[in-house]
Amino acid sequence: MEVFSMIKNAVIGDGTNPITQHFDIGRHVASAGPEMVWKIYDAVRKSDQKEASVFIFDKKVADKLYKPKRKEAVSEVLRKCVKNLERFQHPQILQVYHPIEECYDSVAFASEPVLASLANLLGNQERMPTPIPPEIRDFAFHEMEIKYGILQITEALSYLHNTETCLHGNVCPSSILISKRGAWKLAGMGFLQVARDGKESFMANPWTNKASKMVQPDLDYIAPEVQVDKRCFYVSDMYSMGITICAIHNGGRSLVNSMYNPAEYTKGIQLLSISFGDAASKLPIQLVEPVEKMINRDIRYRPTARLFSLLKFFSDSVVSCLSFLDSLPQKDAGEVTTFYTKTLVDTIPKIPKKILYQHVFPFIRDELYTESDKLVHVIPPLIAIVQNASREEYRLKLMTEINKLLAMPKNALVTIALLEKLDIILFKTPVEAHKIQVLPILYNTLDSNNSLAREAAMNALGAIKQHLDEDSIKKMVLPRAKAIFNNANNVKVKMNALMCIDRLLDRMDKSVISDNVIPFLTKIEPEDPEIVMAITGIFRHMMTDKRCGLTHALLALQVMPSLLPHTTNALLTMEEFGVLMDLLRDMFDAIDRNRRNKMKLEAMHDDETIRGSAPNIIGMQRHRSAAHIDDIKRSREKDHSRHFLSVDHVSHPKSRTANNHKREHRVEFYIEECEEEQENHSPAPSTPELKDRQRFTAASPISQRRVSNHSSVNANKDLSDHKQYSLVPEGPMSPGINLIPDDSSMGFPRRSSTQSLGSPVHHRLSVDANGKPRRHSAGPVVVPGEMNKPHYGSGYFNQMTPNTPRRSQPSLASLSNSVMALFQSKLNY
């Protein structure tokens, strides 16, 4: 590799470290260890392509020490560090992937992937690459990261002190490494001491200028008892941890700035309380008192690592969740299942996004490619992460892994778990990737032989239908749903197929419903009441949603003929039969309503055509034909047979409204009156005046008009509420008609036209030469003689007084125009 050749020539020299036989080494990213002597490189293990980090110590760095023993001392400390790391297996201690490898020029080992040391992230750039990698240069800690990181190092110290009875001896930022998952790992084990004979105190060598800084702990973090009393204790590590906590919140600066001078260290220890007072304001309030005790010179006041980890400051659901993830390999299967399906799902919305994608998601991603039995438990937290991600976050951080998961072979349980949440995945996925990346899992599952998976797929269709276009429904989903129904022997499977079709109706075009769905449903001949009710429910859905395009023609010709045989199904319960009958009644009502509305529109069109000619209002009632009476009777018989399917109408005759009674009474009376008039009618005296009027009446097209039942009743009803009027020709000087109210039609006795001036004044209406109505301001109209009594129930102004004296007889055309204008003005009124 070109990268490795560059590293070999620039760093390792002519010699080749054996570590290169096992790892492909990448770029230089960070540094760590005493005096930051370890250079950290990105690497990939050749055997399994697993990501790793390679630590390399270039022995040329120690050439300035001159004395060979000092050079060898540095290498010895580093060897001891790696061996101690290999010895301990703890989630908060750096995990070694490959043991130490050494050649003439270098010492190297491999570990889990590392981002940088804590010292690098706090600003120490010694032996860092140039330029600084952007992920380190722009790094910023989240408050939750610091909280959990402090807890992680504390737990590592607790493990060393209580389980391994060891003293770390060099707790400082250069000994703490941050993994690429964001976990804080304790390293720097080159000064580890093991307790002997159960003693809790250890012999210690104070820091001195006579030895190299590379072979000594960091003086700024050494406990006072080590430097003064040459002894140390477990709580000496807690002192160093307290100073490290202060440095994290103090911009990477220790409270003691010794500049590698023991004399300056002593001064700093004396001023420690003052230095802490300045830094205390930057600490979380819950940590001020515990940290103050940790850095107390009296070891009796310092808390142990176990006690410090129990602080309320760390009692956080997010911290607990992250801690469980780090210790996952030590947990049993039941605990892991409960954690993934319940605890982690509930905690994910609270986890900061940085920690979520850096620390939590990698754990879940690794589980996706492990045993399928574990995979099903990882789906709920994975979907929770997807649900809480923005679309941009999903596209950049999650979509690749989700697409791999959807495409890879899975067992039925994993498939069902994914289908149940497929709507969430579709919502986050870009639209252009729906058909290629996400929907194939749905189509493939519909074609599978696993009934549970097919059921999950059909249930998922209801949630994702808004993401399906008409073409996909018509060509991909609907044929599969039909095939599932036709091939199923189980009623439940058939029900699911029908429910699937019902859920998709809202997304189907009218043509798809009429050409594919309705013919499919009408051909089904089920015996099971559940299937009958499912079909009934689908047709009910179609009727209530106009977008389905269920016309009265489809109802009459296809739907109802297929539903009527189900009424004889003996397996239907009373309730199910009632549901079916209600649907059929509603269908009949829909057909009736549609047809009647159409017929009324046609009748209105005929009325408009007839009104284009001059109507003969005078003779409409007197010349009722027998055909007109027969039409009314036939229309009335249709009304009686309108609700022949209505069970409620038959069993409850009082359900008719009062308006229907009045309407039928008026129609019956009107028919009787017309028949009586025809039987008792005798020809009138053959006078010239009467002949003219008869010729005028016979010539009117209104007398030939067929009047429907509804129009006849409505006309009688509307006009019977008005006064009856007499029409009197006015004379040649003022052509028009005098309108005189007929009091007898309102229940009063008819008065003579020669009554005194105290009588009510009759309104005079006339029509001018242009045919427009006008009102005269003249006094009452004097009409000698008695007026003819009008026909009962007549609403037209058809009573002319035959005895009215006339100065001259108006022409028939003039009279026709006048009557037409008056009729139009009355309608407008």
Mean predicted confidence (pLDDT) in 504-509: 88
pLDDT digits (tens, 9 = 90+) for 127-148: 999 899 999 999 999 999 999 9
Gyration radius of the chain over CA positions: 51
Whether residue 742 is contained in a domain is answered as no
Whether residue 792 is contained in a domain is answered as no
> The domain containing residue 72 runs over which residues?
1-314
pLDDT of residue 774 exceeding 70, the answer is: no
Whole-number Å distance between alpha carbons of 348 and 322: 10
Whether residue 435 is contained in a domain is answered as no
Whether residue 393 is contained in a domain is answered as no
pLDDT for the residue numbered 815: 58
pLDDT for the residue numbered 549: 86
Strands lying side by side in the sheet with 38-45:
23-32, 38-45, 51-58, 106-111, 96-102
Whether residue 116 is contained in a domain is answered as yes
630 pLDDT tier (thresholds 50, 70, 90): low
705 pLDDT tier (thresholds 50, 70, 90): very low
- The SS3 assignment for 625 reads coil
CATH number where 304 lies: 1.10.510.10
Handedness of CA 63, 65, 71, 75 (dihedral sign): negative
Measure the CA angle with vertex 223, ends 218 and 227; round to 5°: 85
Whether residue 386 is contained in a domain is answered as no
pLDDT digits (tens, 9 = 90+) for 82-139: 999 999 989 999 999 999 999 988 999 999 999 999 999 999 999 999 899 999 999 9
The residue among 336 and 648 whose pLDDT is bigger is 336
pLDDT for the residue numbered 785: 41
Mean predicted confidence (pLDDT) in 383-390: 94
533, two tokens = 């009710």
394 dihedral zone (left: phi>0; alpha: psi -120 to 50; beta): alpha
- The SS3 assignment for 813 reads helix
CB 93, CB 105: distance < 8 Å: no
pLDDT for the residue numbered 666: 53
pLDDT digits (tens, 9 = 90+) for 718-765: 434 443 333 344 444 344 434 434 444 434 444 444 444 344 444 444
Whether residue 636 is contained in a domain is answered as no
Average pLDDT, the chain: 78
pLDDT digits (tens, 9 = 90+) for 636-660: 554 444 443 333 333 344 444 444 5
Q: Of 824, 821, 802, which is closest to residue 692 (Cα–Cα)?
A: 802
CB 276, CB 295: distance < 8 Å: yes
- Choosing from 283, 314, 345, the residue where a domain stops is 314
Whole-number Å distance between alpha carbons of 18 and 34: 24
- Choosing from 314, 341, 357, the residue where a domain stops is 314
Mean predicted confidence (pLDDT) in 436-444: 90
Count of beta carbons in the 10 Å neighbourhood of residue 288: 14
pLDDT for the residue numbered 21: 93
Task: Of 177-186, 319-328, 796-805, 816-825, give the range with the top mean pLDDT.
Answer: 177-186
The separation between CA 789 and the C-alpha centre of its own chain, rounded to angstroms, equals 75
Mean predicted confidence (pLDDT) in 310-317: 92
Q: Is the peptide bond before 380 cis (omega within 30 degrees of 0)?
A: no
Count of beta carbons in the 10 Å neighbourhood of residue 152: 23
Whole-number Å distance between alpha carbons of 435 and 473: 12
Whole-number Å distance between alpha carbons of 137 and 716: 95
Whole-number Å distance between alpha carbons of 580 and 574: 10
208 residue type, one letter: T
- Burial (CB count <10 Å: 0-12, 13-18, 19+), residue 659: exposed
Mean predicted confidence (pLDDT) in 771-787: 44
Total count of domains within the chain: 2
pLDDT for the residue numbered 295: 95
- The SS3 assignment for 40 reads strand
Q: Which residue has the tokens 């310092």?
A: 302
Whole-number Å distance between alpha carbons of 466 and 451: 25
Whole-number Å distance between alpha carbons of 367 and 385: 15
Give the single-character DSSP code of 685.
P
pLDDT of residue 384 exceeding 70, the answer is: yes
Whether residue 405 is contained in a domain is answered as no
pLDDT for the residue numbered 272: 92
618 pLDDT tier (thresholds 50, 70, 90): very low
CB 355, CB 145: distance < 8 Å: yes
Whole-number Å distance between alpha carbons of 212 and 217: 10
- Choosing from 602, 625, 646, the residue where a domain stops is 602
**How much helix, strand and coil, in percent to the nearest 5, is found in the chain?**
60, 10, 30
